[in-house]
Amino acid sequence: MSQNPNPYLLAADNPQALATLLLENPSLAAGQDDHGYSLVHAAASYNHLDLLRSLIRDFNVPVDLKDEDGETALFVVETVDAARVLIEELGLDAHLKNDEGLTAVERIEAEGDWPAVAEYLRSLGTRPIDTGGLNGAANDDTVPGIELPPAPEGLHVTVGTMDEAEAGEQQPDPAFRRRIEELAARSDLETPEGQAELRQLVEDAISGEGLSEERSVRARQE
């Protein structure tokens, strides 16, 4: 009697075989072992980037899946390429903290491993990281003085930039600013209800509803 293959070992050593296994049993994609280690962690750690993309995009595994220590896959990457895919393509927040209150870069620097990864993460600073999420393209979704929450999955919005003179004349509508601040402060932003309200907020921004007449907000034209 043949033993069922271990998907975590396949993620490390044979990603093509794992891809076949997942097609036969998609429920394995979001599985975690007794320590919370997931296939996303394994794919990121072993730099299997196509597998990593497939787990998130094709099998809808949450990119911010955490292990028993509250650590995402970013905590175990060993290459800058893997970190870039997680953050810039798949929309992972690089500033998420583990159960010890450390971000990925703080943990990596504390252990003294992968200096190139630490340097890349440090280069991101503490600003919100604008990504295209699953679209894999950068956004510039900023309103002066406000840190916007991440856009809902699959929704890609770009807000045009302006020089300082324009910014002084075209401030965000106070009511719209208040909606952003209230939504960003919500603790249930990741729930379906919170995501629905966030999507509505972004759609209102695209259409111009709730903004002052002078301000133009439009969707990126691909």
Q: What is the pLDDT along the chain (222 residues), one digit of tens a residue?
A: 456 789 999 999 999 999 999 999 999 999 999 999 999 999 999 999 999 999 999 999 999 999 999 999 999 999 999 999 999 999 999 999 999 999 999 999 999 989 999 999 999 975 544 444 443 333 444 434 444 445 544 444 444 444 444 444 445 566 666 777 776 776 666 666 767 777 777 666 655 554 444 333 344 344
pTM of the model: 0.57
DSSP string, the chain: -PPPP-HHHHHHH-HHHHHHHHHH-GGGTT-B-TT--BHHHHHHHTT-HHHHHHHHHTS---TT---TTS--GGGG--SHHHHHIIIIIT---TT-B-TTS-BHHHHHHHHT--HHHHHHHHHTTTS-----GGG-S-----BTTB-PPPPPTT---B-----HHHHHH-PPPHHHHHHHHHHHT-TTTTSHHHHHHHHHHHHHHHHTTTS-TT---B----
* Domains (range + CATH), the chain: 7-123 (1.25.40.20), 133-207 (no CATH)
